[in-house]
Amino acid sequence: MSETPNRTFESRPTVCPFCGVGCSLEYAGAGRATGAEGPVNRRGEICPKGAAAFDVVDHDERLTEPLARVGGHFVTATWEEAIERVAEGIGGVVEEHGPDAVAFFASSNCTNEENYLFGKLARLLGTNNVDNCARLCHASTVAAMNDRLGAGAMTNTLEDLSETDCLLVTGANPAEQHPIAFRSYLLPAIRDGATLIHVDPRANDTTEAADVHLPVRPGRDIELLNAMGAVLIAESLTDEAFLAERTTGFDALEEQLSAVDVDANARAAGVDPERLRAAARAYGEADRAAAITGMGMSQHTSGTANVHALVNLALLTGNVGRPGTGVNPLRGQNNVQGASDVGTLPDVLPGYEPVTDPEARARVADEWGVEPPAEPGLTETAAVDRFGEEVRAVVVFGENPAVTEPNATAVRSAFDSLEFSVAIDIFETATTDLVDVVLPGSCWAEKSGTVTNTDRRVMRMRPNADLPGNARRDLEVVAELGRRLTGYPEAFRYDGPEEVFAELTRVAPIYGGMSYDGIGEGYERWPYPAGAEGGTDVLHTERFASGDRRAPLVPVDPVPPADELGDGELVLTTGRVIEQFNSGALTRRSGTLTAMRPEDALLIHPDDAADRGVEDGETVVVSNERGTVTVEAATTPDVRTGVVFCTFHYAEPLINTLTGDELDPIAEIPEYKHSGVTVEPADDR
């Protein structure tokens, strides 16, 4: 145990608050974290983000008192006053417009117990308008995989991926975004001879380990994947036995792909046809080939279609249902998988049971004493679009939509049009600036509970610090809102997170039978307890999770990006760097240009820069019809011509000012990875 002037810390193994890999770490003294040997990081290895995880814990900008807006300014309030304001604000909207006028944004940064209770709060208030930022992230991946295979999660485990012979990594940069998964599971396979194919318009740390790099034009992944499929069929690299026993619909797909002109598709996708052929051969000839898919695939208006095209390749080659294969979305935050598992989604109850299924609702009602509403609710993106109209109030829990949702200017005015809004956060953010009441919650190091990592492992978090000032544990805040906002105060009385988890395991079939004792310092993997000890490792082995022995193959046609390019415009695509995390709220670097490293600037190819008279390091103005952003430019051949890349980690410069709010029609995920922009030197203006 150690002391700082205000806070008490102690070392207990918990889960890293950043990415979905789920490394274990604990307090090491002097404000630092150290890796703890855990189920994922078995040698206690952690990345630079994990090592800096305590930076936020006793940061002097932590929220320590509730804030309530009075005459346009925040004043400190007591908890009683703040909760009363929330009860009046939400209560007034419900009375006048009904419960569906309230939207709930859950937190992928928070525990299963907190999110489960948050979903219960929305539903006992009478609405299914609850969603989490999986909507902005892998919603399209989940939609496509669920549709085809019956489960939207990683088909395989990190462990068995280290046995693969070929990795097709597309629209993902695991070397920076999932560093321990990359170093401890994927790199060993590559060192053992597995071929790495990297599909990304920008060469980055992952590309350095690649055998084949396909610098796809943003938004052209379907052309590229269909061309690979055409090569597989033309060169008989498909798995005949698997196609016969485990799939339907081969004839239609064969007909479509046989007509694909590989060279023309490669040109449309902006890649070399021979390199594309080499990639298809490596994938098709491998004994075990695994696909890894990320935001470059999912964050398009074609996001769901992109993943359908990828699933086709896996099924054509029999690369599903065996170790070292599959289709594997690497999940974002430390609990984005769990937030969805426990039902903070507008169309499903805990455990992905549809809200439209009367039996599922009845099972939930047995536990809750109240039946959840039967109509699917609004997604987060659809809700923001309807702020001020159908939606009059919002409860934002551990999310920062003012920075992370697309078309930021529209998001800001959408918040202004609400009658009431409340945020539960640990810092003042661009979003808390827009709400009426801010409730100070607890950060990762101050809570107990469970989180579910990218390969479906439920692990326990343990407190390493006490709470700052008058901040409260998130679980207690959500429970208090449940008691005050719904007509069912008894449904929100718990002894602590373990009791909430026990209820969750009775409500969500995929978590059935799990317990804190069973998890201990290890994990329990869903679906549980089916299959191997500790849960099911590889999915879809004998049957698909859909219950069927066969999965359908479906022809996928290219979908043009919604944001068409104007004259002289470049394609802006966005993404991440290793040192920063999402909206920057947990990585707390001041949002000034000087704090950015070169990779954090607008990356532009030297030819595109020269055409526009832009010098390396110069300040440029990036604009389109949605707005203007001023940022430093860095010239580099790592980004392909016609494309510029920038991170979205800062409230200033706010890159999402430029992204469009067109949505994928099925998953309602925004098109973060393809916006038309002009770029010019700031001096020219």
Interface residues toward ligand MGD, by CB under 6 A: 19, 49, 107-110, 133, 136-137, 170-173, 176-177, 199-202, 204, 216, 218-219, 221, 294-297, 299, 332-333, 398-401, 404, 424-427, 429, 441, 443-444, 474, 573-576, 578, 580-583, 585-586, 645, 648, 655-656, 659, 672-673
Closest CB 533 distance from ligand MGD, rounded Å: 29
Q: Nearer to Mo ion by C-beta: 131 or 480?
A: 131
19 binds ligand SF4 (CB under 6 A): yes
| Whether 403 contacts 415, CB under 8 Å | no
Query: Can you name the residues that pair with 3 across neighbouring β-strands?
Result: 8
Q: Nearer to ligand SF4 by C-beta: 18 or 104?
A: 18
The one of ligand MGD, Mo ion, ligand SF4, none whose footprint includes residue 580, by CB under 5 to 8 A per kind, is ligand MGD
> Amino acid identity, residue 51?
A
The interface region with ligand SF4, picked from 14-22, 324-332, 350-358, 665-673 by CB under 6 A, is 14-22
Mark 36-65 with x for binding to ligand SF4 (rule: CB under 6 A) and - for no binding. ----------xx-xx---------------
The one of Mo ion, ligand SF4, ligand MGD, none whose footprint includes residue 22, by CB under 5 to 8 A per kind, is ligand SF4
Q: Which pair of tokens denotes residue 586?
A: 């947990």
Secondary structure letter of residue 192 according to DSSP:
T
Q: Which pair of tokens denotes residue 295?
A: 């935001």
Give the residue, chosen from 9, 13, 14, 22, that forms a contact with ligand SF4 under the rule CB under 6 A.
Answer: 22
Q: Which pair of tokens denotes residue 515?
A: 């317990």
- State the Cα angle at 584 between 104 and 50, rounded to 5°: 105
667 binds Mo ion (CB under 5 A): no
Angstrom distance (rounded) from CA 253 to CA 244:
14
Closest CB 362 distance from ligand SF4, rounded Å: 38
The one of ligand SF4, ligand MGD, Mo ion, none whose footprint includes residue 675, by CB under 5 to 8 A per kind, is none
Secondary structure letter of residue 180 according to DSSP:
H
The one of ligand MGD, Mo ion, ligand SF4, none whose footprint includes residue 585, by CB under 5 to 8 A per kind, is ligand MGD
| Whether 355 contacts 323, CB under 8 Å | no
Which residue has tokens 């392909």? 640
Give the residue, chosen from 38, 66, 171, 179, that forms a contact with ligand SF4 under the rule CB under 6 A.
Answer: 179
Closest CB 553 distance from ligand MGD, rounded Å: 22
The pairs formed by 75-82 with CB atoms below 8 angstroms and a separation of 24 or more are 77/437, 79/470, 79/472, 82/437, 82/439
Q: Nearer to ligand SF4 by C-beta: 188 or 369?
A: 188
Show contacts with ligand SF4 in window 591-610 (CB under 6 A): none
Closest CB 230 distance from ligand SF4, rounded Å: 36
The one of ligand SF4, Mo ion, ligand MGD, none whose footprint includes residue 130, by CB under 5 to 8 A per kind, is none
The interface region with ligand SF4, picked from 15-23, 211-219, 374-382, 634-642 by CB under 6 A, is 15-23
Closest CB 340 distance from ligand SF4, rounded Å: 18
Q: HSE, CB side, 13 Å, CA atoms: give it for residue 320.
A: 36
| Whether 334 contacts 18, CB under 8 Å | yes
The one of ligand SF4, ligand MGD, Mo ion, none whose footprint includes residue 21, by CB under 5 to 8 A per kind, is ligand SF4
Angstrom distance (rounded) from CA 664 to CA 69:
36
The interface region with ligand SF4, picked from 20-28, 84-92, 251-259, 337-345 by CB under 6 A, is 20-28
Q: Is 176 exposed, middle or buried (0-12, 13-18, 19+ CB in 10 A)?
A: buried
| Whether 216 contacts 200, CB under 8 Å | yes
The interface region with ligand SF4, picked from 111-119, 175-183, 475-483, 673-681 by CB under 6 A, is 175-183
Q: Nearer to ligand SF4 by C-beta: 186 or 280?
A: 186
Tell me which residue of 50, 104, 29 sits closest to 586, measured CA to CA: 50
The one of ligand MGD, Mo ion, ligand SF4, none whose footprint includes residue 171, by CB under 5 to 8 A per kind, is ligand MGD
Q: Nearer to ligand SF4 by C-beta: 176 or 385?
A: 176
Angstrom distance (rounded) from CA 199 to CA 207:
9
Question: How big is the site for Mo ion, counted in residues (CB under 5 A)?
Answer: 2
Within 10 angstroms of residue 516's Cβ, the number of other Cβ atoms is 16
Which of left, alpha, beta for 447 (phi over 0: left; psi -120 to 50: alpha)?
A: beta
Closest CB 179 distance from ligand SF4, rounded Å: 5
Give the residue, chosen from 106, 137, 175, 180, that forms a contact with ligand SF4 under the rule CB under 6 A.
Answer: 180
Closest CB 618 distance from ligand MGD, rounded Å: 22
Angstrom distance (rounded) from CA 301 to CA 488:
40
332 binds Mo ion (CB under 5 A): yes
18 binds ligand SF4 (CB under 6 A): yes
Helix axes 221-234, 262-269, angle to 10 degrees: 160
The one of ligand SF4, Mo ion, ligand MGD, none whose footprint includes residue 16, by CB under 5 to 8 A per kind, is ligand SF4
The one of Mo ion, ligand MGD, ligand SF4, none whose footprint includes residue 216, by CB under 5 to 8 A per kind, is ligand MGD
The one of ligand MGD, ligand SF4, Mo ion, none whose footprint includes residue 623, by CB under 5 to 8 A per kind, is none
21 binds ligand SF4 (CB under 6 A): yes
Within 10 angstroms of residue 685's Cβ, the number of other Cβ atoms is 10
User: 601-629 burial by CB neighbour count: b if 16+ within 10 A, else e?
Assistant: bbbbbeebbeebebeeebbbbbbbebbeb
The pairs formed by 477-480 with CB atoms below 8 angstroms and a separation of 24 or more are 477/424, 477/439, 477/441, 478/114, 478/117, 478/118, 478/121, 478/397, 478/424, 479/117, 480/83
The interface region with ligand SF4, picked from 13-21, 55-63, 474-482, 518-526 by CB under 6 A, is 13-21
Angstrom distance (rounded) from CA 158 to CA 537:
10
| Whether 68 contacts 85, CB under 8 Å | yes
Tell me which residue of 306, 326, 324 sits closest to 314, measured CA to CA: 326
Tell me which residue of 260, 259, 234, 261 sits closest to 316, measured CA to CA: 234
The one of ligand SF4, ligand MGD, Mo ion, none whose footprint includes residue 586, by CB under 5 to 8 A per kind, is ligand MGD
Give the residue, chosen from 9, 14, 23, 526, that forms a contact with ligand SF4 under the rule CB under 6 A.
Answer: 23
Looking at beta carbons, which residue is closest to ligand SF4? Answer: 50
Question: How big is the site for ligand SF4, counted in residues (CB under 6 A)?
Answer: 13
The one of ligand SF4, ligand MGD, Mo ion, none whose footprint includes residue 443, by CB under 5 to 8 A per kind, is ligand MGD
Q: Is 559 helix (H, G, I), strand (E, B) or coil?
A: coil
The interface region with ligand SF4, picked from 177-185, 470-478, 606-614, 631-639 by CB under 6 A, is 177-185
Show contacts with ligand SF4 in window 541-600 (CB under 6 A): none
Report phi then psi at 619, rounded to 5: -80, 130
Closest CB 585 distance from ligand SF4, rounded Å: 15
Tell me which residue of 132, 168, 407, 145 sits closest to 283, measured CA to CA: 168
137 binds Mo ion (CB under 5 A): yes
Closest CB 527 distance from ligand SF4, rounded Å: 23
Q: Which pair of tokens denotes residue 266?
A: 């490669």
Interface ranges with ligand SF4 (CB under 6 A): 16, 18-19, 21-23, 46-47, 49-50, 178-180
Interface ranges with Mo ion (CB under 5 A): 137, 332
